[in-house]
Amino acid sequence: MTSWSRANREAPAWDNNGNLTSDGRTDHQVFGTSTRLHFEYDYRNHLRRVSDDQDRTVAAYEYDGLNRRVRKTTVDADEAETSDVWYLWDGWQCVEERDLNTAGQPVLRQHVYGPGYVDHHAALVDAQGAVYYYLQDRMANVVALADSTGAVVERYAYEPYGGVTITDETGQTVRVASAFARPNREGCCRKGSAAINHRVLPRRERPLTTPARAPLTA
């Protein structure tokens, strides 16, 4: 059993549908200050908005009719957009991310998949065209990211409750930098949330196990 520190924590809260509305933490660093994060959902239980204690939007998400997340925006303290990312899909696989804040909507990332199952992430191509390859364990968890020479540039260690520690090639802990880790899970780092099979969930709602295929709805 993982023990949780009570420092900087309150009791988490959920709505009547079981969606986490507050994770209990009071020390999220947003807009240069410590705050709680508040999670709001639509009628299909999609996470639509993350806000701070002053009801300022930290992030917002949009979905299409197939429950796939198609847009993510983040804002600063002046409520000006700091990022606006559009997700392009091929069936159930997100194949490209584009920056809507920049003229020409340049590609931010492209995702390459392997055979066998829908969440088999094989490679990532970044905005500069550099290719990185996902190395997975037998449970299909990504345990490392290698560059085109085969050199490992990031490693991933997982906690029972969904957290991930990312280290660079020297073993130093770094921030989340790659797109995918566990199957179906894409990090949304600053907000403490994760995209799981095309939905976004706050961190404490992440499942304890890592199935090859997670349900589309809660």
Q: Which three-class secondary structure string do you get for 25-43?
A: ECCEEECCEEECCEEEECC
On whether residue 93 sits in a domain, the answer given is: yes
On whether residue 214 sits in a domain, the answer given is: no
Residue with the two structure tokens 């899909």: 89
Please answer whether residues 113 and 120 qualify as being in contact, where contact means their C-beta atoms are separated by less than 8 angstroms. Answer: yes
On whether residue 212 sits in a domain, the answer given is: no
Residue with the two structure tokens 């299409």: 64
On whether residue 218 sits in a domain, the answer given is: no
- pLDDT for 87 equals 95
Which residues of the chain register pLDDT less than 50? 1-5, 176-179, 183-185, 187-194, 196-198, 204-218
Torsion on CA atoms 71, 188, 198, 88, rounded to nearest 10: 40
pLDDT in tens, 46-65: 999 999 999 999 999 999 99
pLDDT in tens, 76-92: 766 666 889 999 999 99
Domain holding 172, by residue range, is 13-205
How many domains, in total, are found in the chain? 1
Q: Within its chain, how far is the Cα of 87 from the centroid?
A: 13
- pLDDT for 194 equals 47
- pLDDT for 215 equals 28
On whether residue 54 sits in a domain, the answer given is: yes
On whether residue 71 sits in a domain, the answer given is: yes
On whether residue 7 sits in a domain, the answer given is: no
* Dihedral sign from CA coordinates of 55, 74, 188, 216: positive
- pLDDT for 209 equals 38
On whether residue 66 sits in a domain, the answer given is: yes
